[in-house]
Amino acid sequence: MAKKTILSGIQPSGNLCIGNYLGAIKNWKSLQNDYNSIFLVVDLHSLTVNQIPAELRNRCYSFVAQYLACGIDPDKSTIAIQSHISEHLELMWVLNSICYMGELNRMTQFKDKSKNQKNINVGLFSYPVLMASDILLYQSDLVPVGADQKQHLELSRDLAHRFNHKYSNTFTVPEPFISEKGSRIMSLQNPVKKMSKSDENLNNIISLLDSSDVIRKKINRAVTDSGKEIIYSKDKPGLSNLIDICIALNGRSYKEIEEKYAGKMYSSLKNDIIDLLIDLLSPIQNEYNKIITDKDYLQNVLKQGADNCSYKARKTISKVYRKIGLIKK
């Protein structure tokens, strides 16, 4: 029985953080053993905001190196940069032609990101169509999604159904992949907000490349709550976020955490989290430092990934062009 295809990607903005690792990349490591896995650096999506070209280029290399350092195996998974496969944009144009303005107007992420902007670019508006192209191009069966991306996946499903109905069965209709192991990590200083790699306040995140000293300072400064008892409660978002981080790192239950820290101070929990983070990130950083300086290896990984993706993408786009009446070149 053929493996199902699972696709995910991260935009090369900001700094990959423990939110990305615990919520996504850690799961990718296990998924690559059971699925035909495609993990992208979606650089075209990052162009909806102003970029410094040299910095964007370096971040793309850095993100690929971090994928590899975290355990994504190029012999088990396809690792590629989105812009290396031109079919993403070709399919996007076709999907633009069957997508309705009203559908894109309803996208909550567009509404949030366009607030207080005077000149809103078309790329930000049509961003979900490019995401649909990313997904449908590889006949993806499953797409890991967080709460903020569910609406975009629904659009992908709608466009797949619409195209299939109009031109006959062409696209696999993707399903959301909800992992039981994924962790939603919140901001260290504002624990009602999700930890984001693009956060301008670096004290809100633990980057995968933060040094031990920086990790220690950030965790020690992390917001807790009034009171002394270490318990998990919605009324204590700061403390609960630290407990979630601890559980994601050591695999214990909420009950075990509360029993272990009964009668202890918040500093005891924070010190243990610091040790767990350093134990997790030190080997990743050591591996990253080796990989990022080996440009030949990175280029080989990216060429292999682009070749794998291009083969699959060309099959899909050829079928699409034939269905809609374009002449094959």
Homologous superfamily assigned to 210-290: Tyrosyl-Transfer RNA Synthetase (1.10.240.10)
The stretch 116-143 carries a mean pLDDT of 90
CA dihedral 308, 309, 311, 317 (to 10 degrees): 170
Instruction: Give the per-residue pLDDT at 147.
Output: 63
Residue 148 in this model has a pLDDT that exceeds 70: no
pLDDT at 108 over 80: no
Residue 3 has pLDDT above 70, yes or no: yes
What is the C-alpha separation between 149 and 265, in angstroms, rounded?
37
Task: List, for residues 255-269, the tens digit of each pLDDT value.
Answer: 999 999 998 999 999
Q: Which CATH number fits domain 5-183+295-324: 3.30.1660.40, 3.30.505.10, 3.40.50.620, 1.20.58.100?
A: 3.40.50.620
CA–CA separation, 316 vs 313, rounded Å?
A: 5
Q: Which residue has better confidence, 117 or 54?
A: 54
Give yes or no on whether 5-183+295-324 and 210-290 have one common fold: no
Domain ranges of the chain: 5-183+295-324, 210-290
Write the DSSP string, 225-274: -SSS-----TT-HHHHHHHHHHHHHH---HHHHHHHTTT--HHHHHHHHH
What are 36-85's pLDDT values in tens digits?
A: 999 999 999 999 888 999 999 999 999 999 999 999 999 999 999 999 99
Mean pLDDT of 246-254: 92
- 261-294 pLDDT, tens digit per residue, is 998 999 999 999 999 999 999 999 999 999 999 9
What does the angle CA 193 – CA 117 – CA 52 come to, to the nearest 5 degrees? 80
| Cα 170 to Cα 70: distance, rounded to the nearest angstrom | 35
Catalytic center residues: 113, 194, 197
